[in-house]
Structure 1
Amino acid sequence: MAQNQQPIFQTKPQDHFVQIPINIERDSTTLINQTGNSNRKPNHWPTILLSTILVIVGQTVAKLLENFYYDQINRSEYDESRQNDGVWTQALLQTVGFPLLLLPFIIIAAKKQHNNQPCHQLHYKSLTVIYICIGVVMSVQARLSAMGKLEIPFGVFTLIYTTQLLFTPLFARLVNKIKFNRWVVISSALAIATGALTLSSAFGGEPDEAEENYARGSWAALFAAVCFSLLLCNIQNVFDSYIFKRTETTTARKPSFFASVLEVIVFSSLVATIISAAGLLIAGEQDDLKREMNEFSKGKGAYVMAMVGQAVSWQVYWVGIVGLVFSVSSVLSNVISVVTWPIVSVLVVIFFNFMDDEFDVFKGIALITAVLSAAAYFFRLHKENRDSDVIAN
């Protein structure tokens, strides 16, 4: 009987239990590899396309109305002492429309609470601090960009402001631990070319030669670019480190797109609006608003519609921008934001007549590089989804 006994621990392990699929090691083929966060959803094309459309429509309409505003207030007649009139107003318009999102946010939030998701006080205290920081950065970025465009020629401002496409991948690598493959590099390079090629675009608030202040305007444009990059990367950090991790301790399968996006926008915009409104009152721009309304070439009604239209359009833009960060990354969000610039420049030529602005070769090439930049990134997302399906199967 002792000879027939088999040793208990001598079973040889099977090789197939320790095999690792080769394709899971590819460089940044999935969002899990890219962000390091297993809670992120795979790329969902409907939300990506919806967010892209919102960015394009929102930014285009907002910029056209901004040009219309500066054109109709006859800013070219301002002297040097009034050069920066309205910068706090323009900063405020970028965030003051957030109450439009309150009703859908409250409805969605109430529905999520109905699902009995537990509330973690420490979690929400941390989010409160982060939303305050994002709101501060948002208001500073809006103020700096509004000032920079009034201090230096718009072509110079555009070239400097395009550096955001260099800062965003850098911050995304350091803050969000994103890995990049060749398609992201190609897309970013084409987006940089797109931004640079819009240097011939005109702007209704462009300063006269006597009003130009290259030192102040250049620094404002550069720091505005840095702030915008930090803004996008911090928003992605909120999603990766907080909102997506809620699924670990809740019964929800995945975070809601609209609930998450509206949460970030509403709370951050509230802080930014308070700061910009305070700046407006301290600078005394409320008196300028009354004068501008009375002197507006198209009348008071057109003035109100231009201001309200900007506020609404900027909210559409922010929903798209934050939606792209939620769906993919801060890098794609920045790329789509910049590739919209040639569309704006062409529409400015069509609707306005600033300094004999015309459709030149730079604008044509910029449109081509914009399409190629977006196509390169979307092709990368297509490959991610395809490879993720292969791994899942």
Structure 2
Amino acid sequence: MAQNQQPIFQTKPQEHLVQIPLNIERDSTTLINQIGNSNRKPNHWPTIILSIIFVITGQTIAKLLENFYYDKINRSEYNESRQNDGVWTQSLLQTVGFPLLLLPFIILTKKHNQQQQPPITSDNYHYKSLAIIYICIGIIMSVQGRLAAMGKLDIPFGIFTLIYTTQLFFTPIFAAFINKIKFNRWVVISLILAIVTGALTLSSSFGGEPDEAEVNYASGSWAALFAGICFSLLLCNIQNVFDNYVFKRTESTVKKPSFASVFEVLIFSSLVATIISVVGLLIAGEQDDLKREMNGFSKGKGSYVMAMVGQAVSWQVYWVGIVGLVFSVSSVLSNVISVITWPIVSVLVVLFFNFMDDEIDVFKGIALITAVLSAAAYFFRASRTPFEILL
């Protein structure tokens, strides 16, 4: 009987631990999520490279034609009351070419819809919210274009460039708060080099630069500063559209967002900006200035029309590249690429024009070097871990 008695203290059998996977949600703005979820950030090198080419080509041609325009309208004959003639026209030229984007938008949208499964309901599109956002972006686009055009006519171009470069300070600040972007050391280095690049273009010249009697440092400086702020807000709000609306359309599907979204943002926002610029142009009476400029253009009416149309087309190429970089990577890289293009423009202006005996000096040379280093710093780690550093 004693042999059958159970011991008072029985050894507890060994427990087998079972690992239960937990579905831990991560902030959509973290680097891990942006890399792991390829549906959120459609990073593809061909798209990124093509967008960079569009930025460089579009901005370079547009700036060269702008210099050609100011050089041939005999602006030196303008009096103080006509100093800011054409600022609404320059703002209009940046957006009025948006109908050119309709055909690629229709083609890409049709192709994407044929591949999209399952169909997305209209509730997911947030049409009303997007309409309000596009109106706000359009307003910012028109204001930014107008302020930038006015600043260049009020202060020396070197001072305008230095002030306008402050957009590289505001863009990461807005991106951190609006887009919740987190930075690593290579992105910070890239931003610093881009700021140096922009600042070193202070020796560049501009066809519409005011003479000593026309300089208005107060209005020109404020215009340049707020133009830079508007450009930073513009890029960050566009990224907000992609992150919170466009990418969410395809979260429940296996399909990635279409590049047609870039054209969608540009078409609707540019429509609003164009309407505002046209109204401003008519109120300011610049339609009469256009006729006078065309008749007095030293190269003839045909060259005047080609210069204006060329600017409108080139700005659309530029905007497709800028917004394409926001779509594929981030507002920060988009701004960096935009600024490091400035030295290329300044060198080409020297080669094509002869403003105030401008020449290729040491500042332009160093600016080209820092521009290359800025781009290299941003993409440095991407060569080892694809897109790890892309925001």
Equivalence for 1:366: 367
- Alignment partner, residue 225 of structure 2: 222
Q: Partner residue of 1:60?
A: 60
Q: What is the CA distance between 1:44 and its match in structure 2?
A: 1.1
Aligned to 1:13: 17
In the TM superposition, what is the alpha-carbon distance from 1:120 to its structure 2 partner?
1.8
**Shift in Å, 1:356:** 0.5
Structure 2: distance between partners of 1:150 and 1:327: 35
Measured on the aligned residues, the alpha-carbon RMSD in Å equals 2.5
- 1:101-116 matches, cutoff 5 A: 101-114=101-114, 115=116, 116=119
Match of 1:391 in 2: none
Deviations 1:108-163 (A, max 9, x none): 22344444432227711111100000000000000000000000000000000000
Instruction: Report deviation, 1:248.
Output: 2.5
1:39 to partner: Cα distance: 3.9
Which deviates more from structure 2 when the two are superposed, residues 139-148 or residues 73-82?
73-82
Partner in structure 2 of residue 316 of structure 1: 317
Alignment of 1:232-251 (within 5 A): 232-249=235-252, 251=253
Tell me if structure 1 keeps the 8 A contact 2:42–2:256.
no
Q: Which amino acid aligns with 1:12?
A: H
Contact 1:131 1:268 in 2 (8 A): yes
CA distance in structure 2 between the partners assigned to 1:277 and 1:37 by the alignment: 42
SS at match of 1:85: coil
Distance 1:387 1:291, change over 3 A: closer
- Partners of 2:171 and 2:112 lie apart in 1 by 32
In structure 2, what is the Cα distance between the partners aligned to 1:112 and 1:197?
43
In 2 relative to 1, CA 241–37 (structure 1 residues): closer, same or farther, beyond 3 Å?
farther
Q: CA 1:349/1:267 → structure 2, altered by over 3 Å: closer, same or farther? A: same
TM-score normalized by the length of structure 2:
0.90
Structure (1 or 2) with the larger CA radius of gyration = 2
1:381 deviation in Å?
3.5
1:38, CA displacement in angstroms? 7.1
> In the comparison of the two structures, how many residue pairs are matched?
372
TM-score (structure 1 length as normaliser): 0.89
| Aligned match of 2:286 | 285
Q: Say if 2:109 and 2:258, in contact at 8 Å, map to a contact too.
A: no
Q: CA-to-partner distance for each residue in 1:215-236, whole Å, 9 max, x for gaps? A: 0000000000000000000000
Q: Corresponding residue for 2:185?
A: 182
Aligned to 2:3: none
Aligned to 1:343: 344
Between the two proteins, what is the percent identity of the paired residues?
Answer: 78
Please identify which structure carries the higher helix content: 1
Change (3 A) 1:220 1:121: same
Give the distance between the partners of 1:335 and 1:372, measured in 2 at CA. 11
Cα pair 1:60 1:344 within 8 Å, conserved = yes
Aligned to 1:163: 166
Q: 1:126 to 1:10 in 2, by over 3 A?
A: farther
Asked if 1:196 is matched to 2:199, the reply is: yes
Answer whether contact 1:134 1:268 (CA < 8 A) is retained.
yes
Provide Cα deviations, 1:91-124, integer angstroms capped at 9, x if missing partner. Answer: 0000000000112212322344444432227711
The equivalent of 2:96 in structure 1 is: 96
Q: Where does structure 1 lack aligned partners over 5 or more consecutive residues? A: 4-8, 389-393
- Whole-Å separation in 2 of the counterparts to 1:11 and 1:247: 44
